Structure 1
Amino acid sequence: MTEEVIEESPTGWVAEHVRRYLATDGADGATFHGYDSLLLTTRGRTSGKLRRTALIYGRDGDRVLLVASNGGAARHPHWYLNLDAHPEVGVQIGAERFTGRARTASAAERPRLWELMVGVFPQYATYQRETDREIPVVVVERG
């Protein structure tokens, strides 16, 4: 990612989590209520601006997995919608920063990856029951 200004989440508690994470290279924030979390930077699909948020993540080998749950809401989260237009992302896990390419898990791979992520954060299963949309699993590969 370039040296552009990165906008933080408009959600107050998420923005505060991101600030603490950045200020401490993840020493404060790499775990969120006991779950591993990372910082994801995406490019806005309409604004073109860089945006950063904190998310719970899992791993599948060298790949990073994310779930676009939006807390079980009827709509996908904005960060997920941005990936379709701009799949290049920035990732920070602890002090480690890297770029990657994000994609939605295929229909063939989703069931295994979904179960893996429900194992990471069991609340995802509840979120899926609360919405009519299939919650996407996102695969980030270093690039």
Structure 2
Amino acid sequence: MTESAFPDVRWGSETSVLRRPAAAFAATRPGSWVLRNLSGLDRRVLERSRGRLTVLGPIGAPVVLLTTTGRKSGQPRISPLLYVREDDRIFVAGSNFGGERHPGWTANLRADPHATVTIGGRDLPVRATELKGEERERIYAEFMEMVRVYDVYRGRTDREIRVFALARSDPRG
């Protein structure tokens, strides 16, 4: 049996009694505000635990730390993101809580598709590919199935939410 490209490590459970009410709260504007303001704390928890623990852990949310290179600064930029897994790729969506602007990490990936994900205590080099058309819609539907708040985010903005596939790669290769 071959090893998966990405470890399937999650704290908590998708069947947690907290999952449904937490998702319902996240779909509200106050819920989005709380999540946005918790993202700094979540980033620190994820960094210290090397992707093993997250503030969203009790609800079994699959979270990854994505490190991109700032397109203007050239400095590492770390973003905690929910992800969807399919075969040997994971996917991330630039919902930005339904905000008017795309999150900075999406522009960073467009400028340089080489990045690193931290998941399950491992740093893994990845190469990002932005999805378009039917594949983007299909994967975004999986985000909405995972947590309905993604449908709410899509309804809050006129922009097309960017979705990226992340595949393991050789560093800078």
TM class by smaller structure? 0.7 to 0.9
Q: Which amino acid aligns with 2:125?
A: T
Aligned residue for 1:41? 67
Aligned residue for 1:67? 93
CA contact (8 A) 1:92 1:98 kept: yes
CA contact (8 A) 1:45 1:86 kept: yes
- Alignment counterpart, residue 160 of structure 2, candidates 123, 127, 134: 134
Higher helix share: 2
Report the alpha carbon displacement of residue 32 of structure 1 after superposing the two structures with TM: 4.2
Report the alpha carbon displacement of residue 135 of structure 1 after superposing the two structures with TM: 0.8
Aligned residue for 1:22? 47
Q: Deviation string for 1:3-44 (max 9, x for gaps)? A: xxxxxxxx7632321222222233321844621111000001
Aligned residue for 2:84? 58
CA contact (8 A) 2:71 2:112 kept: yes
CA contact (8 A) 2:42 2:55 kept: no
Aligned residue for 1:119? 145
CA contact (8 A) 1:30 1:36 kept: no
Aligned residue for 1:6? none
Give aligned-pair identity as a percent: 33
The unaligned stretches of length 5 or more in structure 1 are 1-10
Q: Deviation string for 1:72-125 (max 9, x for gaps)? A: 011100111111101101001121220101121121311211111111221011
- Alignment counterpart, residue 98 of structure 1, candidates 98, 110, 124: 124
TM-score scaled by structure 2?
Answer: 0.71
Q: How many residues align?
A: 133
Report the secondary structure of 1:55's partner residue.
Answer: strand
Show structure 1 runs of 4+ deviating over 6 A. none
CA contact (8 A) 1:15 1:53 kept: no
Greater C-alpha Rg: 2
Instruction: Provide closer, same or farther for how the CA distance between residues 30 and 139 of structure 1 changes in structure 2, counting only shifts above 3 A.
Output: farther
Report the alpha carbon displacement of residue 50 of structure 1 after superposing the two structures with TM: 0.6
Q: Which amino acid aligns with 2:100?
A: A
Report the secondary structure of 1:42's partner residue.
Answer: strand
Q: What is the alpha-carbon distance in structure 1 between the residues aligned to residue 114 and residue 152 of structure 2?
A: 30
